[in-house]
Structure 1
């Protein structure tokens, strides 16, 4: 997978940006910000994605690592959902 992502850097960049944006929105974003501040944050996320893309091109597994992080976050979300439904039944 790493070799394929090295051959397709644009797709790797988009994947990194989307995964980082998801992690930011679910973990670090606590409230709504003004539009300009939001735009600045997403531009900075894009710059950070470029840096991570460089690491991906050097052979580090950035995209799979981010995918594992997002998968774990989704598992926790599913667990909380199931736990809430169990508590509502009781």
Structure 2
């Protein structure tokens, strides 16, 4: 898998950017920001994704780590959904 990521750095960059954007939106974004501040944040995320791309192409498992983080976040959302549904049935 690591060799495929090394062979396709642009796709790897896009995957990293999408994953960190998801984490930002679900964990750190508290409210809607003005468009200029939002643009600055996404530019910073893009720069951070570039840095993480360098680490990924080096030897660190950045994409698998981000994928685990997103999977755990989705698992928590499913758990909250099930709990809310059980409360409504009672």
Q: TM-score, normalised by structure 2?
A: 0.99
Q: Which residue of 2 aligns with 1:46?
A: 46
Q: Which residue of 2 aligns with 1:72?
A: 72
- Distance in 2 (CA, whole Å) between partners of 1:50 and 1:16 is 9
Please list every run of at least 4 consecutive aligned residues from structure 1 whose deviation after the TM superposition is greater than 3 angstroms: none
- Distance in 1 (CA, whole Å) between partners of 2:29 and 2:44 is 14
Q: Which residue of 2 aligns with 1:33?
A: 33
Secondary structure of residue in 2 paired with 1:16: helix
Q: CA deviation at 1:31?
A: 0.3
Instruction: Identify unmatched segments of 5+ residues in structure 1.
Output: none
Instruction: Identify unmatched segments of 5+ residues in structure 2.
Output: none
Q: Which residue of 2 aligns with 1:7?
A: 7
How many residues get paired? 90
- Once the two structures are superposed, the pairs formed by residues 53-64 of structure 1 within 5 Å of their partners are 53-64=53-64
Q: Which residue of 2 aligns with 1:16?
A: 16
Q: TM-score, normalised by structure 1?
A: 0.99
- Distance in 1 (CA, whole Å) between partners of 2:34 and 2:65 is 31
- Distance in 2 (CA, whole Å) between partners of 1:61 and 1:3 is 12
- Distance in 2 (CA, whole Å) between partners of 1:3 and 1:74 is 28
